[in-house]
Amino acid sequence: MMIIIIILIIGLDQLTKFIFNNNLVLNSPNPVLKGFFYLTLVHNRGAAFGILKNQLLLFILSSIFAIILIYFNLKKSKQNNKLSLNNLALGLILSGAIGNLIDRLFLGYVIDFLDFCVWPVFNVADSAITVGAVLLAWSLLKEIKTN
């Protein structure tokens, strides 16, 4: 089940990036809900919030390192036949990291397009990483409380 979730998220991420990269004008907001939500094509050469711009090698290496760590953690959990909130969270983070790594490897930047005006422009992979991180924190806090 986890592999299906990961493949679906990576596929959705890459499909939406392809569609919006080929149909939007760079840095030109397109209102969906005026004043609230826009589709704005951005080529992000940094990390979250555009920090550390033009550090491509650092982002590639750190993504690969994180992907390897998460993969082995999930593989270990699979051997224990353990499907948990923690594993779902790691799967979301893994799929998001892979989605953005694909962009960095082939384009040298990450394609972002979801623009809520009060938050930096982001994409499906960023959403998966964020949801995964929140779920992971929640799972770990739950685990601490029960011990």
Name the residues annotated as catalytic: 112, 126
Q: How many CA atoms lie within 13 A of 74 on its CB side?
A: 20
Order of strands, sheet of 37-44, starting from the edge strand that comes earlier in the sequence: 30-33, 37-44, 110-115
Distance separating the N- and C-terminal Cα atoms of the chain: 28
